[in-house]
Amino acid sequence: MTKPIVLSLYDFTGVTMRPWAEAGYDCLCFDIQHSDEPRKETVGAGSITYVKLDLWDRDNVLSLARHTAQGVTFMAAFPVCTDLAVSGAAWFASKRELDPQFQRRAANHAIWCGELGELLGCPYMIENPVSVLATLWRKPNHTFQPFEYGGYIPATEAQHPTWPDYIMPFDAYPKKTCLWTGGGFQMPDKSPVKVSEGYSIQHRKLGGKSMKTKNIRSATPRGFARAVFLANHTQAVASIAAK
């Protein structure tokens, strides 16, 4: 019997998919950074397969609708925010001189993910920091901060497994993040942890333009990933059964 599958786009780390895989789902993570040959990792009762794909090509994004026949139960997407996030507004003018359409091109990546979510007909979310997507596309459906979901992380897993020197235990840091959602997506209940006032420690450590720092900055908070799974997996299965 084929297991239900979950798709994640612009996903290098697979963090968002781990709760789904642990529960028995087969998860597919697409990103241009993955190796040429797909890599499959067994996680709990399920798996995460990392697949290289150029998601700056609309045809490639929409081609993933082919997975509908397998029963896609959830989709997540994390399109590149470099040219959209208001934190980079100081560079917008110089970028616009080089390419007047630079933000429209960047916004299209998120819009294509939204089109895919509608084609799949399942609960989906598209994540970006506070950005100009709100004007170039539409206002976000939800916002959250990582520390608001830190309580979903067990005490035995408080330390980040990959970047403990950069990411606070229990995701105890602020970073306002926006979600564009559809298909019956359920925003999870909060379970906040205490956080220090002001900027997070990793905010001071993660300057620069290296791919490593970009990947760490964009990594989905583990607590929020687990909360999203708990709030949506029943809804996701129901969406498949209704088809």
Q: What is the pLDDT of residues 170-196, one digit of tens each?
A: 999 998 999 999 999 999 999 999 987
The yes-or-no verdict on residue 15 having pLDDT over 80 is: yes
Residue 123 CA to residue 186 CA, distance in Å, equals 8
Confidence of residue 47 (pLDDT cuts 50, 70, 90): very high
Per-residue model confidence (pLDDT) at position 18: 95
Q: What is the pLDDT of residues 133-162, one digit of tens each?
A: 999 999 999 999 999 999 999 999 999 887
Residue 12 CA to residue 23 CA, distance in Å, equals 20
Q: What 3 state SS string does 175-188 have?
A: CCEEEEEECCCCCC
One-letter amino acid of 202 = Q
The model's pTM: 0.87
Per-residue model confidence (pLDDT) at position 241: 47
State the maximum Cα–Cα separation within the chain, in Å, rounded to a whole number. Answer: 55
Where in the chain are the domains? 5-229
The yes-or-no verdict on residue 9 having pLDDT over 80 is: yes
Per-residue model confidence (pLDDT) at position 8: 98
In CATH, the number for domain 5-229 is 3.40.50
